[in-house]
Amino acid sequence: MFCIWLLAICYGLSAIEHQPLAFSFWPSAFGQTETHPIAIVYFVAMQTFKALVVESGDPYTAHVRQAALDQLPQGDVLVRVAHSSLNYKDGLAITGAGKVIRNFPMVPGIDFAGTVLESASPDYRPGDRVILTGWGVGERHWGGLSELARVRAEWLVPLPEGLSLQQAMGIGTAGFTAMLCVMALESHAVDKTREVLVTGAAGGVGSVAVAILARLGYRVTAATGRVSQEAYLKSLGASEILDRSLLTTPPKALETERFGGAVDTVGGAVLTGVLPRMAYGGSVAACGNAGGVKLETTVFPFILRSVNLLGIDSVICPREKRLLAWKRLTHDLPRPLLEAAMQTVSLEEVPELARAILQGQVRGRVVVKLS
Ligand SMILES: NC(=O)c1ccc[n+]([C@@H]2O[C@H](COP(=O)([O-])OP(=O)(O)OC[C@H]3O[C@@H](n4cnc5c(N)ncnc54)[C@H](OP(=O)(O)O)[C@@H]3O)[C@@H](O)[C@H]2O)c1
């Protein structure tokens, strides 16, 4: 009897690993919920699952440990997470350097891509491949740095055709935000004859923004504190590299008009330096605060040069825009450039990388492999 159970468990686990959905689903014992049959074997096999767990207190800790199925928060879709990723906000959450997490213990991870195991929503069926970014996941609701996640169906989007789950997290929240920035600049008709600036260019949002803008035919200037990354940034399509210190030197109210558009991932003194250098009618998509939250400026770029400062939020971005951004990402982000900008790590490596990302020491995108 024991051997039969063992065989069933081994079959179930290997089947999930390779995602073969030969038999689609059956109604489960959980009311209207549809459960993948192999998920049942999975539940038997794994009353627990692996997750990064953050606990408050002194000291504030983040350790990989086993969590119990019944600890997962409420939601109508259970997902086997294939990959998550490391974003700046995850760095703040995992180290406690920023007040990102609202309740403890918390499984961080503001994004994930995986396969639906169980669904009580008519929108998803077991076997569907899905992506989640934002919605407070990894902040208020257990997140993606975990083998399993239970979330609300309306937070998910289907994995776009042509992307693998790993590539989807190579993009992740950072790449999705980069696309939202590009879409915002497009909707303000950025002058293609002028340079477009990307700040924090060697980071996650920055790297993807450089690659997309270059692909779309913009002349991209990459501003970075790591000029040693010149070859990398040029390989993504940057035409020119700008030393960050040129932007952080306190500017005049108006400097020489230079940039037709800008994606700013840094905020603080860098954004202060960007605004006076925008050309007439130019637009800045501001999405980040890696360099600070305060913005010192004058009104002159706005009232004398008609500059637009566009705020970008990815967390509660409406669904239609989300779907459009993911569709655009499948077309406008060259796959070899995405691969060049990403590295894949294990869950155990995440706490150390969380500290590194806050020091500006992580290049491009970090994908975390869960299963
Ligand atoms: N609005 C939203 O919905 C949204 C979504 C995603 C991310 N974000 C924000 O966007 C920012 C970038 O996120 P990310 O995941 O791409 O982070 P990341 O990979 O760490 O990139 C941030 C980059 O900013 C630069 N940087 C870091 N510390 C700095 C400092 N003290 N002063 C000046 N520049 C500094 C570095 O670029 P260089 O080495 O090239 O100088 C770094 O690589 C973060 O603030 C994040 O919170 C916002």
**pLDDT at residue 37, rounded to an integer:** 67
Q: Is the pLDDT of residue 122 over 90?
A: yes
Q: Are residues 273 and 193 in the same domain?
A: yes
Give the Cα separation of 219 and 242 in Å (integer): 13
Query: What are 200-239's pLDDT values in tens digits?
Result: 999 999 999 999 999 999 999 999 999 999 999 999 999 9
In a domain, 84, yes or no: yes
Residues 154 and 6 in one domain: yes
Q: What is the CATH number of the domain that holds 258?
A: 3.40.50.720
Burial category of 313 from C-beta neighbours within 10 Å (exposed 0-12, middle 13-18, buried 19 and up): exposed
Q: Are 54 and 108 in contact (CB under 8 A)?
A: yes
Residue 265 has pLDDT above 50, yes or no: yes
Mutational pocket test of ligand 1: of 132, 245, 266, the residue with most ligand atoms within 8 Å of the beta carbon: 266
- When pLDDT is cut at 50, 70 and 90, the band that residue 35 belongs to is confident
Query: Does the Cβ of 312 fall within 6 Å of ligand 1?
Result: yes
Judge if 7 and 153 occupy the same domain.
yes
Average pLDDT over residues 112-133: 98
In a domain, 329, yes or no: no
Average pLDDT over every residue of 149-167: 98
Which of 295, 311, 327 is the endpoint of a domain?
Answer: 311
Residue 321 identity: K
Q: How confident is the model at residue 34 (pLDDT cuts 50, 70, 90)?
A: confident
Assess if residue 59 is contained within a domain: yes
Residues 219 and 86 in one domain: no
- Return the structure tokens found at 348: 């155990």
End-to-end CA distance of the chain: 28
pLDDT interval class at 41 (50, 70, 90): low
Atom of ligand 1 nearest to the CA of 363: 43
Rounded distance between C-alpha atoms, residue 337 and residue 57, angstroms = 41
Residue 159 confidence class, pLDDT cut points 50, 70, 90: very high
In a domain, 213, yes or no: yes
State how far the Cα of 56 lies from the Cα of 345, in Å rounded to an integer.
Answer: 25
Q: Answer whether residue 325 is part of any domain.
A: no
Closest ligand 1 atom, residue 222 Cα: 40
Residues 154 and 23 in one domain: yes
Q: Given a cut of 50, is residue 294 above it in pLDDT?
A: yes
Residue 29, pLDDT > 50, answer: no
Q: How far apart are CA 224 and CA 46, in angstroms?
A: 45
Note the pLDDT of residue 47.
Answer: 79
Structural domain of 249: 173-311
Q: Best substitution site from 287, 309, 322, 353 to test ligand 1's pocket, by max atoms within 8 Å of Cβ?
A: 287
Backbone angles phi, psi at 64, to 5 degrees: -80, 125
Residues 138 and 97 in one domain: yes
Same domain, 276 and 200: yes
Read off the pLDDT of each residue in 304-308 and give the average, rounded to a whole number.
98
Same domain, 195 and 150: no
Span 35-56, mean pLDDT? 78
Average pLDDT value for the chain? 91
145 and 68: one domain? yes
| CA neighbor of 77 nearest in space, from 158, 153, 175 | 153
Asked if residues 129 and 158 have their Cβ atoms less than 8 Å apart, the reply is: yes
Q: Which atom of ligand 1 is nearest to the CA of 289?
A: 45
Question: For the chain, what is the domain count?
Answer: 2
Q: For the chain, give the percent of residues with pLDDT over 70.
A: 88
Report whether pLDDT(254) > 90: yes
- pLDDT, one tens digit per residue, over 76-106 is 999 999 999 999 999 999 999 999 999 999 9
Q: How many CB atoms lie within 10 A of CB 59?
A: 7
* Amino acid 39: pLDDT: 63
The reply to whether 47 and 101 lie within a common domain is yes
Substitution site in 86, 88, 95 for ligand 1 pocket (most atoms within 8 Å of beta carbon): 88
- What CATH number does residue 131 fall under? 3.90.180.10
- Give the model's pLDDT for residue 165: 98
Q: What is the pLDDT of residues 314-369, one digit of tens each?
A: 999 999 999 999 999 999 999 999 999 999 999 999 999 999 999 999 999 999 99
Is the CB–ligand 1 distance for residue 313 below 6 Å? yes
pLDDT at 46: 65
Q: Is 338 part of a structural domain of the chain?
A: no
115 and 199 in a single domain? The answer is: no
32 pLDDT tier (thresholds 50, 70, 90): low
Instruction: Tell me the average pLDDT across 29-35.
Output: 57
Ligand 1 within 6 A of CB of 204: yes
Note whether 6 and 154 are same-domain residues. yes
Strand ranges in the chain using DSSP code E only, listed in sequence order: 26-27, 34-35, 48-55, 61-68, 77-86, 111-119, 129-133, 148-151, 156-158, 195-199, 219-224, 240-243, 259-264, 278-286, 308-311, 342-346, 365-369
Question: Is 184 domain-assigned?
Answer: yes
The pLDDT score that the predictor gives to residue 36 is 67
Whether residue 41 is contained in a domain is answered as: yes
pLDDT at 2: 40
